[in-house]
Amino acid sequence: MRKLQLLKTILDFIWYFSIIAIIGMAIFIPYMFFSNEFFGIPIEINGNGILVIDLSTKIILTLEFFSYCFFIYGVLKLRKILTFFSKLVILTTLMFYY
């Protein structure tokens, strides 16, 4: 039971911080679609400036956002399953079928 509580604590920690990230991304993505500039921040890799943010890049970032949301939904479901296991709800309902 101790390992179960540790796993649930780690998932709770991931869950709370990922909700903060989802809120930030939900604010950033609409701004990205309606703005032509990328915050005016010059991005440089090895001295080469990167300023290419076209429609395909915006669509890919949006799809990554939705896939991240699905991942966090999976973490939510796993948290609920662990809560049921800690309350022994799943094990008692299975015993009625036997």
Residue 77: which domain range?
A: 2-34+53-97
Return the structure tokens found at 67: 């896939």
Say how many domains are in the chain: 1
Q: What would the pLDDT profile of 20-36 be if each residue is shown by its tens digit?
A: 999 998 988 888 788 76
Return the structure tokens found at 47: 């001295």
Q: What is the pTM of this model?
A: 0.69
Q: Where are the beta strands (DSSP E) in 5-98?
A: 43-45, 48-50
Inside any domain, residue 44: no
Inside any domain, residue 59: yes
pLDDT at residue 18, as a whole number: 92
pLDDT at residue 2, as a whole number: 78
pLDDT at residue 57, as a whole number: 80
Phi-psi region of 52 (alpha: psi -120 to 50; beta: other; left: phi over 0): beta
Q: How many helices (H) and strands (E) does the chain have?
A: 3, 2
- Element holding 80 (H helix, E strand): helix 55-86
Inside any domain, residue 82: yes
Mean pLDDT of the region 48-74: 85
Return the structure tokens found at 58: 């915006």
- Whole-Å CA distances, 53 to 8, 12, 27, 60, 72: 39, 35, 17, 11, 26
